[in-house]
Chain A
Amino acid sequence: MALTTTTEEVSGRVPITVLALDGELDAANFERVIDDVRSLYDNGTRNLLIDLGGLTFLASSGLVALHSIVRLLHGEPPPDLESGWDALHSLGLDVSSGTSQTEVQLCGPQPGVARVLSRTGLDRLFRIHPDRATAIADF
């Protein structure tokens, strides 16, 4: 029920930080995951693979974390969740407009998590790989 996050550095074509999420990502912890990634970014991470293999549940607030993480890795000002009113611009990464980001990729979502991603359209934002090795090769 808790969420454990594990980070490690791997070398693909580029240095990649792998952030593994184990447990449940929900309203109780999504802000922490954003904080974790903010600290990764501040310390030089520019390519992030989020390993969802151990994630058993993704609540809607977890989607906020995923979206914010993409923003962070884009070097955009970190969203201020408390205010919720800052004039933040959309990512301009819409699939429909033909742009896509590759800085943050996902791998190994369980079926329930994959369903939430596709229901909410957040799957548009990411390349989603079946496993870590495939994902690392794609960076």
Chain B
Amino acid sequence: MTLDGLLRLDRLGRLLESFASVGPDLSISMEDTSANVLAAAGAPVAADDRRRRISRDIELDGGVIGRLVVFAGSGGETSGSRHSTPIAEALTEALGSSLEMLLAETLARQAAERSMTAAAERAADGGGTRLDAELALARRIQRSFVPLTSPDIPGYEIASHYEAAREVGGDFFDVFRLRTRAGRLAIVIADVTGKGIAAALLMAFARPLLHAAIDHTAAPVGALERTNRILVEERGSALFITALCAIVDLGTGRLRVGNAGHEPPLIVPATGPIRWLSGSGPLLGAFGQLDLTEGVTDLDEGDLVVLYTDGVTDARAVSGERFGDDRLVGVVEANRAARPADVVAALAGAVRDYQTGMPPADDVTIVAIRRLPVKRRRAAPDR
């Protein structure tokens, strides 16, 4: 069974030919990303049979443009219905690159029609589309949450990079001195799962919550537990947040980390091998209790810490391969002696190069902090 014979649409995307080779037991539909059926053929599917289905995303140029769904009807098997292997085989054979092209053409035609309609409407009422305006607004709101400059901390050097994907993303970070404890610096890096405006709103809610919780508890694990409780009990949401809170005692260099499902930070000592800082637990928003374990390490002079979001490790090349932990460590290793700003720039550049040709899938956030070597011994004021 080849695909070209399977689906034939006219120029308006209507199905010209049924899926003759599919047989009476199967029905197939092609949907756009909103699950609007663009073309369907085969036996009508009874509600009882809707469970036996296969669906597959249809991608073009790295983006999902729709999906193909195959339903197995009840013809043939009656009771038991143990296996759907024939469906799987049929689908595997049916899928070819031409399907992507076919769907892309259909979608492109529909989009052209829509944009013509929209243009006509705009001409009529003289404004842009509401959704575009909303997205632009969400994007602006989101950007305003991300600190543009890092605080000036004597004895330390901090750099950050934040790059939003085209869509409204969910990364955020925060670097601030604790109000309640002198000589302590808090660093937060987090990623709201999901996407779109819902994720941006949850981030807008969570960031000040985390900030206040850290100020209040001065303990990274306690701050995460507190934030989680509020998220779960008061502002339940279907989305989660992976978040890492770090508190640095600027005088002693002691770094305490609470990690709620986030990528572990990299510790780059002045000399010696790079390592991950352990200590992890569930992400925020999914469970009533986190039961996190604090990770602790002491930063010596010259030691560097690199924090990042999954936009780094999950960056995808055209080949489909992911950037991954090994490349991350490789880039950091190659730049370990550089200033934090250069480490961050090198890593961001490597990720950008890696996903050349791919649409930016996720926000990329990187924060690096180094305890600077001091030339002359001075009493470090801790409080």
Q: Are B51 and A94 in contact (CB under 8 A)?
A: no
Among A77-121, those with CB < 8 Å from B are: 79-94, 96-97, 119-121
Tell whether, in the assembled complex, residue A97 and residue B288 are in contact, meaning their CB atoms are under 8 Å apart.
Answer: yes
Q: With A7-B84, A8-B83, A59-B314 in contact, is A64–B54 under 8 Å at CB?
A: no
**Interface pairs A-B: 5 shortest CB-CB:** A121-B282, A84-B198, A79-B238, A120-B261, A88-B236
Interface string of B289-318 (1 = CB under 8 A from A): 111000000000000000000100010100
Please determine whether A6 and B84 come into contact, CB atoms closer than 8 angstroms.
yes
Chain B residues with CB under 8 A of A7: 51-54, 84
Q: Would you call A45 an interface residue if the criterion is a C-beta within 8 Å of the partner chain's C-beta atoms?
A: yes
> Does B202 lie at the interface of the complex (its beta carbon under 8 Å from any beta carbon of A)?
yes
Q: Is the CB of A92 within 8 A of B288?
A: yes
A9 CA to B242 CA in the complex, in Å? Answer: 35
Given A35-B35, A59-B314, A60-B310: A84 and B237 within 8 A (CB)?
yes
Find out whether the CB atom of A27 lies under 8 angstroms from the CB atom of B56.
Answer: no
Q: Does A10 contact B (CB under 8 A)?
A: yes
Are A81 and B236 interface neighbours, CB within 8 A? no
Q: Does A53 contact B (CB under 8 A)?
A: no
* Chain B: interface residue total (CB-CB under 8 A): 65
A52 close to chain B: CB less than 8 A? no
Q: A7-B53, A60-B193, A122-B286 are in contact. Are A88 and B237 (CB under 8 A)?
A: yes
Q: Determine which of A9, A36, A81, A91 lies in contact with B194 in the assembled complex, contact meaning CB atoms within 8 Å.
A: A81
In the complex, which of the residues B50, B56, B64 contacts A43, with contact meaning CB atoms closer than 8 Å?
B50
| A side interface size, CB within 8 A | 58
Q: How far is the CA of A36 from the CA of B50 in the complex (A)?
A: 10
A residues 120-138 touching B (CB-CB < 8 Å): 120-122, 124-125
A40 to chain B, nearest CB (A): 5
- B: which residues have CB within 8 A of A? 35, 47-48, 50-59, 62-64, 67, 80-84, 87-88, 91, 191, 193-199, 201-202, 232-233, 235-240, 242, 260-261, 263-264, 280-283, 286-291, 310, 314, 316, 320, 322, 361-362
7 new A-B pairs (CB below 8 Å) besides A3-B56, A8-B82? Answer: A6-B84, A28-B63, A28-B361, A36-B55, A57-B314, A60-B242, A64-B194
Cα of A60 to Cα of B194 in the assembled complex, Å: 8
Cα–Cα distance between A81 and B195 once the two chains are bound (Å): 9
- Which one, A2, A30, A64, A122, contacts B282 given CB within 8 A? A122
Q: Are A86 and B242 closer than 8 Å at their CB atoms?
A: no
Q: Give, as a whole number of angstroms, the nearest-CB distance from A95 to chain B.
A: 8
Minimum CB–CB distance for A24 against chain B, Å? 8
Inter-chain CA distance A30–B291, complex, in Å, is 27
**24 interchain pairs (CB within 8 A)?**
A2-B57, A4-B91, A6-B88, A9-B52, A26-B314, A26-B361, A27-B195, A27-B362, A36-B53, A59-B362, A63-B240, A63-B283, A84-B194, A84-B199, A85-B201, A88-B236, A88-B238, A89-B236, A90-B287, A91-B287, A94-B289, A97-B289, A120-B240, A124-B287
